[in-house]
């Protein structure tokens, strides 16, 4: 039962961030505010992202500490706010997250995954 799931969790994070960014591609903020389907898709991606970040923080604390540039706690916090305050989701925050935080996160994840491949 002691298998290393870390690469899987990182892959889930990368996929969810990529999905969220692709869902809003070509949209402006007003389009997003009007498009419930896209909102739901992006929000689900953020939940997946936060879930995987939480797994990494809980299961591989030394890894998350070694990669402190990644906003692990922010992802977990956003996931919790979405999951527990579903009707109070701030779409401005969701939009800003996809526009600014996720592209940065994707670069960080790619860098980490490249390093993991080299270390094998």
How much is the pLDDT for 84? 86
Contact present, 37 and 45 (Cβ < 8 Å)? no
pTM of the model: 0.91
Is residue 104 scored above 80 in pLDDT? Answer: yes
Contact present, 52 and 18 (Cβ < 8 Å)? no
Q: Which residues are catalytic?
A: 79, 84
Structure tokens that stand for 82 in this block: 């979405």
Residues across the chain: 120
Which has the closest alpha carbon to 55: 114, 117, 2, 6?
A: 6
CA distances 88 to 79, 81, 82, 83, Å, are: 13, 9, 8, 10
For the chain, domain boundaries: 6-111
Is residue 35 scored above 90 in pLDDT? Answer: yes
Could you give the percent of the chain with pLDDT greater than 70?
Answer: 97
Could you give the percent of the chain with pLDDT greater than 90?
Answer: 82
User: Quick one: average pLDDT of 12-36?
Assistant: 97
Rounded-to-integer distance, Cα 114 and Cα 94, Å: 28
How much is the pLDDT for 57? 97
Is residue 24 scored above 70 in pLDDT? Answer: yes
Q: How confident is the model at residue 1 (pLDDT cuts 50, 70, 90)?
A: very low
| 53-99: pLDDT as tens digits | 999 999 999 999 999 999 999 999 999 988 888 678 899 999 999 99
């Amino acid at each position: 039962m002691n298998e290393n799931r870390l690469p899987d969790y990182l892959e889930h994070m990368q996929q969810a961030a990529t999905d969220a960014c692709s869902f809003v591609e070509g949209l402006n903020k007003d389009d997003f505010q009007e498009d419930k389907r896209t909102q739901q898709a992006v929000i689900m991606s953020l939940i997946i992202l936060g879930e995987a970040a939480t797994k990494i923080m809980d299961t591989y604390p030394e890894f998350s500490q070694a990669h402190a540039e990644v906003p692990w706690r922010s992802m977990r916090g956003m996931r919790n706010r979405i999951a527990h305050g579903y009707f109070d989701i701030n779409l401005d925050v969701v939009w800003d997250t996809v526009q600014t935080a996720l592209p940065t996160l994707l670069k960080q994840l790619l860098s980490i995954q490249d390093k993991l491949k080299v270390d094998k």
